[in-house]
Amino acid sequence: MVTRKYPRFSVSLSSTLVHKDQFRHAGSVRNLSIKGCRVESVISPFTGMQLTVQLHVPGEATPILISNAAVRWSGSSGIGLEFLTVAPPHQDRLDRIIQQLQPKTGPQ
C-alpha cells in the first residue's frame, strides 16, 4: 500500500496542460490533492517535464492556475503531476476546493 503525504480526492475537472509554446492540450483531472493531481490526456509527456496547468472549476469564471507542475509519472492511466509553484490567490482557491472535498466529521 502506498502511503501518501497529502490525501487525494476523486474529482472530475477539466484542465488545460501547457508546455511553453510547444503544446496546449485538454485533460481531465481524476484525482486532486493540495500538491498534485492525476490527469487523463492524449499527451504522454516525459518524467520531469515542467507544465503550466489550468484547473477549470465548474461555476468559477477563471481557472485555478498552477504556474509550474512537474510530471512525476506518465503511463496508460494518465499523468501524475506535482504542483511546484502556485501563486497565493490560486493556492487559496485550491485550498478551498480541497477543504470542500474532505469528508465531514462530527455528529450527524
> In the chain, what is the straight-line distance between the N-terminal and C-terminal CA atoms, in Å?
31
Going along the chain from its start, the domains and CATH numbers come out as 9-101 (2.40.10.220)
Report yes or no: 78 and 45 within 8 Å, Cβ to Cβ: no
State phi, psi for 97 to the nearest 5 degrees: -60, -45
pTM for this structure? Answer: 0.89
Q: What is the pLDDT along the chain (108 residues), one digit of tens a residue?
A: 567 788 999 999 999 999 987 888 999 999 999 999 999 998 888 999 999 999 999 999 999 999 999 999 999 889 999 999 999 999 999 999 999 998 876 554
